[in-house]
Structure 1
Amino acid sequence: MNDFFKKPILLFGVIVCLVSLQAQSQELEIAPYLQDAEPNEITIKWQTDTGEESVVEYGLSPKLGKKASGKSFGINFSKAILHEVRLSKLKRFTTYYYRVKTGKTKSDIFEFKTPPFSQDNKKFNLLAMSDMQRDWQYPDKFSEVVNGGIIPYMEKNYGKKLPDHLAMILIPGDLVVNGEVFDQWENEFFKPAAKIFNQVPVYPAIGNHEKNSQFYFDYFSLPQNGSAAHPEHWWYKDYSNVRIIGLDSNDGYKDSPLQINWLENLLQETGKNENIDFVFAELHHPHKSELWIPGEEEFSAKVVSLLENFTQKTGKPSIHFFGHTHGYSRGQSKDHKHLMVNVASAGGAIDNWGEFEGRDYEEFTVTQDEYGFVILEVEADQKNPKFTLKRISQGNYADGLRDNEIRDSITIFKNPIKPQAPESISPNNETLPINGVVLKAGTFQSKSQKTFHAASNWQVATDPGFEKPVINSWKQFENWYYKENRQKNDDLSDEKLHRLAPNTTYYWRVRYRDQNLNWSDWSKIQTFKTQGKAD
């Protein structure tokens, strides 16, 4: 054969080799991560630089043995390929092994565990954290929270196999600094948390830093049970006896009547669902923020009101998790078993005390300008389900870092064991000056030996029906604000009143609350009369 024919054949061979090499050189840019788990199904996603093949090999042992295919699509103008595979016909509450495959590229073998059915009454743990957007002063902080905090804490306190001891991860917003910057998703969110995301499903609620970016909706496959007009902006997911609700508190969606109407209908249905004992909602913005008042959002206040009303009507305790303010806070509604919990900061720059306008709200008993995360231990006991919330702190750079220290905790039971109604001791049928009246009540008593006196609610009125109390004082046993406990020496058994109206008959009563948010009945109503003028 002459050279004229040899050259095209040689050139064709070079092209084939180059294409072949390219096909073999896919890079696994984002390791596999888990989404939208059901007792019999789960979604697995990952990202490569090239290659359309989307295959998951899986099985009940590391030998795998089964495989499933899915879909892929270009992301960031097709500069990367995102893969998604939905596994089905799985066994509930079962450990599976898996790896992903695109062309010649295969991931390591990882594990996940499918959820139980609601009626299985299985106990479980979940993780909540937020606002891990990169702080340029401490750019590796999110990685430290995950790899130096969450993973060693779980292994030390629960066991080595993470899927056996952690059911899901909730993130109420601000995953990256700017959701419209493609590289931030890979480098600042997925890579630092790869060792937990490839074993435990992650469920975010969108924050303001995501900027409603299409990247957010590409990367996450959240439950498709919200409003059809706005898929994945709000949704719910059940795990054992808990219903998780994700909401969107951002501009463009917070004012949507669709979202509030959807939430109202969902809560109504949830109240009738005998398999659900607790509701945990997540949304980004706070309704109240002790560290940063400008971050508060009226929409969030509406959500809190709906959750409080739900809890009051159904007897099912609720929580709303939030972020936006970069610090931890935990409060509770006065008249409901509802917790309000800021689960930040998992990496974003701390909102330090005094740095912004703040306020000491009566609902909040603990606020800390620290890094950390929250663990929820849920028990689906048929007699009295409960959950325990723990704040695991890593401190801050100004006051000193902490090594996974439990800085706050609370346990909530579904069914109350009410403390005894307190004794209203004095004043009783007395005439007193208008200044300096002190209400006194008896000691806290409860049939539950593990409880203690955690709050008192004092009411004073000019009518025995207390329709319009002139004083409605609620004090809790602790109030950590600006690094000091403002309730340090208050035993909650007395209440000093300020100036009262002269020559007036007053009625008063008090009720006690334990640390599990159970109120006693009101005490016996007592009365006193004020003198005609001040001393």
Structure 2
Amino acid sequence: MRILLMGDHQIKSRSGYEWLMKAAQRKIEEKYGDLTEKINMIMNIGDQVDVGTLDQYEQIHLFKSQLMSPYLPIMTAVGNHETYNDPGMQRYAAHYHYENLTYQGISSGTENYYAYQAGRILFVVLSTEHTGDAQKEWVRKIVDAAKKDDSVDFIISVNHRPIQAEQYVGDISAWVRNEIIPILSETPKHVLNYGGHHHLYHRGQLTDYPLYHIINGAASWDQMWGMSSEQDYDDVQKTIDYWGYQILEFDFDKKEMKAECYAIGNKELVVDNILIDSFSRTLGKATPEKPEIKEITEEIITLPYTFKGSPYKTTTNEQLNSVQYQFSLNQDFSTIEYNKVRDIEDLYGSTGKPLHIPIDLNENIDITQLTIEKNKLINGTYYVRMRYRDTNMEWSEWSDTRQFTVEGSIAGKPSISITDTSVTPGEAITIDYKYAPEGQNAWIGIYRKGEEPHSVLSYKWKYTPAQSGSMNFTIDETNEYYAVLFEDEGYTEISERIPFYVGPEPQISLEKSKFEEGEDIVVTYSNAPGLKNDWIGIYKRGEVPGTSDTSDSWDYLGGNTEGTLTLAKDLPKGYYFLNYFTLGQYFEPRERVYFSVGKDISSLSTDKTEFSTDEAILIHYKDGPGTPKDWVGVYKDGKDPNVDELDGFYYTYGATEGTVSIKAGTLEPGNYFSALFINDSYDEVSPRIQFTIKDGTGIRQAKNEDGPLFYPNANGSLRIEGNTYETADIFNLAGNCVRRTTLTEGNCTIDFTDLPAGIYIFNFHNGTDNSIVHKVIKK
């Protein structure tokens, strides 16, 4: 069985999705034969449209899929763009009748998320735009049934927002990662998590589960290195800023999944269907052999120090993929001082223009060895262990531990941390502690909020049995608490106080997310703890409760656990959040709810309205929505953002106010308008501003260091001063040489006025040696 993974096409004015489908068709016919016979279905990752209007389903999703849609079924997931202009999902539901799908008699009752079995594969298609307890409980039922179902070998989970991302860091679904993935991964049948939202390719694997996770963002928006906030994560093996698609092939007899990932490049690089990644998973295969850490000959070491593992060994044909080292002050590794996972390759970043070759940060690195740098571990006695993972996602056993002592490093400061600061009554509260004084009856105490240790007995307490470790407490009483570490069986606090909440999770909701100025803000709440002075408050986005920022509107709940609350009608236009707060203070036991008041909330401005091509243009934005992918768009006058290609776009990275800069020479002369758009959509949230760009000096000079100067002439020819080259070959982007010109030494001109407008590559050379290349754009 073979499945094609595609999606995230959303942009009407680009043909990237059609190119990608054509490339996939060519590759499939080259490898397997007839597309209609050799591929069983397409799984689409969402954002089939840019906004959820009826015409966009026709003109974007249906029109752009027509190469394959007559022959292959296409299943879809809800992306964030499907919700724009369709918050009730009525037009999505009119196209996709997934509410009729069931697995083992279990139905979600909604089109927004669903499960279905195809062959021996169970697809669990989630909605990252409709998170909550209902969807989580549905996942629980699906997984419990799948565990016992002998007709299912593989589970693939699908969610538009991914569970990790190395660009636009944090723009992921933490809910799926933290709440749903652990449930799905209770069974080894769960082999792949498929995400989108980001417009590139990414593949990683979770440390705690034999689970691949990929991002497949098709040819719509540009997303290349250097355009966003970026971070290299241990659980991502490669991020490649190319547009691509994946072919999944399943052999049910062998219980094997194979994936091949092909790409067509990005906006600055065209490649012809190149293979950029492949991976596989076979259930039931043997694990690698248990490794050994080479003996540490010194009892006391100083950092830096290199730990070395034994050679990788296995009884299968799988190669080494990952190595994990762990260091602990406890022999049972109940707390970890340092944890490091490295893969055999770490593709992060690229060489940039013109070739955009991915950079492997682990190239020529022996990952079986790990160097701990100076001050990475504090002084103390440690235990170290390590294990190997193969390319089938199977971990070996942990090695036997080695013990060593670090001296000459830094001393550790006592601290505590709490894994989850909001728990239900009776649920375990895990408190990790580090660097507690040993042999001195250090202890952790828990107190109700407002209580002081010298004045009352602790609500709960325990001695710390070691220098570092973790302890569990359970509390049945709904309230706010804090935990703190004490020394010498007394009341001297040697750590920060860590607040936490025990009680039900309050549910709050609004009837809509957009309000008119002066309209009632009616909040419905339930399952509330009903503590004294609990309240619901509204703040503008960007404000921090409990600081100098005061609530824009609020009211007490009077001890009620459910009801409705009408807050002030006089909120000025803006973007807001509301939340539940406990005990008259600022602890938030649940996620915030976001909404807006009024229209044309945000504003843009420039320092002047007329610029030259030699000037940078600063566009200032204010009162923005503050969502991860808000952007400032620039268009030539007369263009329609929903139809036409943009002339420039600049992300705000979640800021509510700031400035974007357009480099001099980026825009050609003409009249332009600019607006602020919300969260990767074409929904304009500011009035448009106008500005004009006029010709500057009229001369743009390209200079090769210690070489000739190149000037464009007004008639379309190229003037060269100080030429030292014999020949110039002109290539088009198809790689064909369209002109060869013999040059004279000194000053000369190349006439190519008869060539059509486009991008050309000029290769200046003397025979085969001493050559330079210039990209020339003829407008």
Calculate the TM-score normalised by the size of structure 2.
0.49
1:532 Cα deviation from its structure 2 partner: 6.2
Alignment of 1:352-431 (within 5 A): 352-381=224-253, 384-398=254-268, 400-428=269-297, 430-431=298-299
Residue in 2 that maps onto 1:201: 73
User: Is 1:504 aligned with 2:504?
Assistant: no
1:495 Cα deviation from its structure 2 partner: 0.7
For residue 113 of structure 2, what is the amino acid of its counterpart?
W
C-alpha change, 1:292 and 1:503, in structure 2 (3 Å) is closer
Q: 2:199 aligns with which of 326, 331, 334?
A: 326
Counterpart of 1:457 in 2: which secondary structure? strand
1:421 Cα deviation from its structure 2 partner: 0.8
Residue in 1 that maps onto 2:346: 479
Residue in 2 that maps onto 1:440: 308
Q: 1:173 aligns with which of 46, 61, 83?
A: 46
1:444 Cα deviation from its structure 2 partner: 0.6
1:364 Cα deviation from its structure 2 partner: 0.6
User: Is 1:156 aligned with 2:24?
Assistant: no
Count residues with an aligned counterpart.
394
1:222 Cα deviation from its structure 2 partner: 2.5
**Which one has the bigger helix percentage?**
1
For residue 247 of structure 2, what is the amino acid of its counterpart?
I
User: Is 1:276 aligned with 2:152?
Assistant: yes
Q: 2:82 aligns with which of 189, 196, 210?
A: 210
C-alpha change, 1:359 and 1:500, in structure 2 (3 Å) is closer
- Does structure 2 conserve the Cα–Cα contact (< 8 Å) formed by 1:129 and 1:172? yes
* Structure 2 unaligned residues grouped into runs of 5+: 351-358, 411-779
1:416 Cα deviation from its structure 2 partner: 3.0
User: Is 1:231 aligned with 2:110?
Assistant: yes
Partners of 1:153 and 1:319 lie apart in 2 by: 23
C-alpha change, 1:125 and 1:533, in structure 2 (3 Å) is closer
- Does structure 2 conserve the Cα–Cα contact (< 8 Å) formed by 1:350 and 1:371? no
For residue 400 of structure 2, what is the amino acid of its counterpart?
K
C-alpha change, 1:479 and 1:427, in structure 2 (3 Å) is same
- Does structure 1 conserve the Cα–Cα contact (< 8 Å) formed by 2:12 and 2:59? no
Question: Which structure has the larger Rg?
Answer: 2
Partners of 1:153 and 1:503 lie apart in 2 by: 57
Residue in 2 that maps onto 1:522: 398
1:506 Cα deviation from its structure 2 partner: 1.9
Counterpart of 1:187 in 2: which secondary structure? helix
Using CA pairs under 8 Å that are at least 6 residues apart, name the structure with larger relative contact order, 1 or 2. Answer: 1
Counterpart of 2:135 in 1: which secondary structure? helix
For residue 370 of structure 2, what is the amino acid of its counterpart?
E
Q: 2:9 aligns with which of 120, 132, 139?
A: 132
For residue 367 of structure 2, what is the amino acid of its counterpart?
L
- Does structure 1 conserve the Cα–Cα contact (< 8 Å) formed by 2:136 and 2:180? no
For residue 490 of structure 1, what is the amino acid of its counterpart?
I
1:223 Cα deviation from its structure 2 partner: 5.3
Alignment of 1:64-83 (within 5 A): none
Counterpart of 1:378 in 2: which secondary structure? strand
Partners of 1:220 and 1:414 lie apart in 2 by: 33
For residue 158 of structure 2, what is the amino acid of its counterpart?
E
C-alpha change, 1:488 and 1:192, in structure 2 (3 Å) is same
- Does structure 1 conserve the Cα–Cα contact (< 8 Å) formed by 2:4 and 2:43? yes
Partners of 1:201 and 1:526 lie apart in 2 by: 55
Counterpart of 2:227 in 1: which secondary structure? coil
- Does structure 1 conserve the Cα–Cα contact (< 8 Å) formed by 2:303 and 2:409? no
- Does structure 2 conserve the Cα–Cα contact (< 8 Å) formed by 1:318 and 1:337? yes
- Does structure 1 conserve the Cα–Cα contact (< 8 Å) formed by 2:321 and 2:343? yes
1:228 Cα deviation from its structure 2 partner: 6.7
C-alpha change, 1:446 and 1:348, in structure 2 (3 Å) is same
Alignment of 1:282-293 (within 5 A): 282-293=158-169
Partners of 1:263 and 1:189 lie apart in 2 by: 28
Deviations 1:197-242 (A, max 9, x none): 1111110011111124433222223352478785211111111221
Counterpart of 1:407 in 2: which secondary structure? strand
**Alpha carbon RMSD of aligned pairs, Å?**
2.0
For residue 164 of structure 1, what is the amino acid of its counterpart?
E
Q: 2:215 aligns with which of 327, 342, 357?
A: 342
1:327 Cα deviation from its structure 2 partner: 1.0
1:474 Cα deviation from its structure 2 partner: 0.9
C-alpha change, 1:501 and 1:393, in structure 2 (3 Å) is closer
1:432 Cα deviation from its structure 2 partner: 3.1
Deviations 1:420-457 (A, max 9, x none): 111221315x2233311211111111111x22211111
**Which one has the bigger strand percentage?**
2
Counterpart of 2:64 in 1: which secondary structure? coil
* Structure 1 unaligned residues grouped into runs of 5+: 1-123
- Does structure 2 conserve the Cα–Cα contact (< 8 Å) formed by 1:388 and 1:411? yes
Partners of 1:426 and 1:524 lie apart in 2 by: 11
1:501 Cα deviation from its structure 2 partner: 5.8
* Most deviating of 322-331 and 464-473: 464-473
Residue in 2 that maps onto 1:95: none
Counterpart of 2:279 in 1: which secondary structure? strand
- Does structure 2 conserve the Cα–Cα contact (< 8 Å) formed by 1:308 and 1:338? no
Q: Once the two structures are aligned, what percentage of the paired residues are identical?
A: 23
For residue 455 of structure 1, what is the amino acid of its counterpart?
S
1:489 Cα deviation from its structure 2 partner: 2.0
Partners of 1:471 and 1:319 lie apart in 2 by: 28
Residue in 2 that maps onto 1:144: 19
Partners of 1:229 and 1:266 lie apart in 2 by: 10
Deviations 1:294-332 (A, max 9, x none): 522332223xx5334543x43223222111111111111
- Does structure 2 conserve the Cα–Cα contact (< 8 Å) formed by 1:125 and 1:377? yes
Partners of 1:501 and 1:454 lie apart in 2 by: 26
Partners of 1:326 and 1:218 lie apart in 2 by: 27
Q: 2:128 aligns with which of 249, 254, 269?
A: 249
- Does structure 2 conserve the Cα–Cα contact (< 8 Å) formed by 1:174 and 1:210? yes
C-alpha change, 1:497 and 1:141, in structure 2 (3 Å) is same
Calculate the TM-score normalised by the size of structure 1.
0.70
User: Is 1:222 aligned with 2:98?
Assistant: yes
Partners of 1:530 and 1:361 lie apart in 2 by: 27
For residue 514 of structure 1, what is the amino acid of its counterpart?
D
